[in-house]
Amino acid sequence: MQDPQDKLSKPDEQPVQTAPESGAVTAAMAAQESWARETLEKLAFAQLQEQQTARRWKLGMRLAWLGIFVVVLWQLFSFGSASTSPSFPHTALVTIVGEISPDTEASAENVMSAMRTALEDPGSRALILLINSPGGSPVQAGLINDEIRRLRALHNKPVYAVVEESCASAAYYIAVAADQIFVDKASLVGSIGVLMDGFGFTGLMDKLGVERRLMTAGENKGFLDPFSPQTAPQRQHAQAMLDQIHKQFIEAVRKGRGERLKDNPEMFSGLFWSGQQAVDLGLADGLGSIDGVARDVVKAPDVIDYTQRENVAERLVKRFGVAVGEGSVRALRASATMR
C-alpha cells in the first residue's frame, strides 16, 4: 500500500499540458504557414506581372518601330508620284514662304527642284510662284532668279509671281524674273537693298574691365568680331562689297521689269511700298490672287501644288540620324574619358 506522503515528496514535477494550450500552438503555426504561403504567392504574382509588363513594353516598341518603318516607306514611295506622269491641263504652283536660306523650305535647292518638276509636266500651262517672304540670302535668290529665266526659255511656258503678305528684298529679287507680278493692294513690296548687321561691345568691355583675347592669322580675319574694334579700311571693304551686291540686285530688277519701272529716286534706296503703290511704280503689274491668275491669265483654273515640303518620313530620318550621332559622340567621349 502506497504511503500518502509519496505524492508530496515530488513537488518539481511539471503538470501535464492541457488540450486547449496544445490547440493554440497548432493554430499559431498554421497561421504562420498561411502568411508565408500568401507572401510567396504575392511575390510570385508581382514577378509575373513585371515580366508581362516588360514583354508588353518590348512588343510595343517593336510595333512602334514597325509603324515608323511603314510610314517611311509610304512617304518615300508616294512623295512626288502624282507629278511624274502626264496630267490634264492645269496651272502649276510653287510656294516660297518664309526666310530664303539654305536650311529652309524656301531654299534654292527645294524651289528650283519644284519648278523643274512643275514645268516638265506636259499638263502644266504656266507656273505661279506664290511668294510670302521678307527676304533672305541674296545668293539663294540669285540662283532661283537664274533658274527661272533658264526654265522659261527651255519650256516656253510663262511664270507669274503672286504676292500675299510680303515680297521684300531677296524675295523681290526672285519675283522680278517672272513674266508678271501680281500683288494684293495691302502687300509689302520692294526693299531693294542689301544689309549686313551686327553689334559692337568694345566700349562696354572697357567699362567692365573685360579683355578680349582673339588670335587670328591675317590682320583682317576677325574684323566682324563684335568684341573687336572695326577699323576704317575694314568698314570701307565691307561697304564696297555691299555696294557691289546692291548693284547686282538693281541690275536684276531693271532686267526683269524693264520699261515698266517708273522714274523714282527712292526706287533702289531700300524702301518698301504697299501693293497698290508697287503697281503705280511699276514694281508690280496688277492686283491678283492665285485663283484669279490661274483662271483669267493662264486660262487653266485647276491648280496643282508642286512645292517640295519636308514630309514626316524625312523628319523622322533626320531625328533618328541626330540621335544616333549624339549617341556616338557620347560613346566616344566616354571612351576617351575612361582612358
Which of the two residues, 18 and 306, has the higher pLDDT score?
Answer: 306
Q: What is the pLDDT of residue 328?
A: 53
Long-range contacts (CB closer than 8 Å, 24 or more residues apart) made by 322-326:
none
| pLDDT tens per residue, range 121-172 | 999 999 999 999 999 999 999 999 999 999 999 999 999 999 999 999 999 9
Q: How many CA atoms lie within 13 A of 258 on its CB side?
A: 7
Give me the residue label for grid cell 509588363: 53
pLDDT at residue 159, as a whole number: 97
The pLDDT value given to residue 34:
76
- Residue whose grid cell is 526672285: 174
Question: What is the predicted pLDDT for the residue at 154?
Answer: 96
Q: Is 189 helix (H, G, I), strand (E, B) or coil?
A: strand
Task: Reply yes or no on whether the pLDDT at 274 is more than 60.
Answer: yes
Q: How confident is the model at residue 313 (pLDDT cuts 50, 70, 90)?
A: low
221 burial class (0-12, 13-18, 19+ CB within 10 angstroms)? exposed
Q: Which of 31-35, 78-82, 219-223 has the lowest mean pLDDT?
A: 78-82
pLDDT at position 271, please? 93
Contact 282, 260 (CB under 8 A): yes
Residues 6+ apart with CB under 8 A from 87: 121, 122, 123, 124, 304
Q: Are 148 and 171 in contact (CB under 8 A)?
A: no
DSSP summary character for residue 196: -
**Cell digits of residue 242:** 555691299
Residue 45: count of CB within 10 angstroms of its CB = 10
Length of the chain: 339
Compute CA distances 220 → 230, 238, 240, whole Å: 10, 11, 15
Q: Is the pLDDT of residue 250 over 60?
A: yes
179: Cβ–Cβ under 8 A, 6 or more apart, which residues?
Answer: 152, 158, 159, 160
Give residue 77's pLDDT band: very low, low, confident or very high (50, 70, 90).
low
Mean of per-residue pLDDT scores for the chain: 80
Q: In whole angstroms, what is the distance from residue 303 CA to residue 297 CA?
A: 13
Q: How far is Cα 309 from Cα 97, in angstroms, rounded to an integer?
A: 11
Q: Using the predicted structure, report yes or no on whether residue 334 has a pLDDT greater than 50.
A: no
- The three-point CA angle 250-254-255 to 5° equals 115
pLDDT value of position 8:
45
Contact by Cβ (8 Å): 81, 116: no
> Over 90: is that where the pLDDT of 41 sits?
no
- Mean pLDDT across the stretch 278-306? 96
* Lowest mean pLDDT segment, chosen from 26-30, 104-108, 230-234: 26-30
Count the Cβ atoms, other than its own, within 10 Å of residue 247: 12
Strand partners, 188: 166, 274
Q: What is the mean pLDDT of residues 308-331?
A: 55
Report which of residues 31 and 106 the model is more confident about. Answer: 106
pLDDT at residue 317, rounded to an integer: 52
Asked which of 47-61, 68-82, 113-127, 257-271 is least confident by mean pLDDT, the reply is 68-82
Q: What is the percentage of the chain residues whose pLDDT exceeds 70?
A: 74
pTM value is: 0.66
Q: Which three cell numbers stand for residue 30?
A: 498554421
Q: What is the pLDDT of residues 187-236, one digit of tens each?
A: 999 999 888 776 666 666 667 777 677 777 877 777 777 767 778 887 88
What digits encode the pLDDT tens for the residues 277-290? 999 999 999 999 99
Q: Per the structure block, which three cell numbers stand in for 137?
A: 540670302
pLDDT at position 76, please?
57
Of 50-64, 84-98, 282-296, 298-312, least confident by mean pLDDT is 50-64
Instruction: Taking residues 182-188, report their average pLDDT.
Output: 96
Question: Between these two residues, 88 and 218, which has the higher pLDDT value?
Answer: 88
| Confidence at 67, pLDDT banded by 50, 70, 90 | confident
Over residues 97-102, mean pLDDT: 95
Contact criterion met (CB below 8 Å) for 327 and 334? no
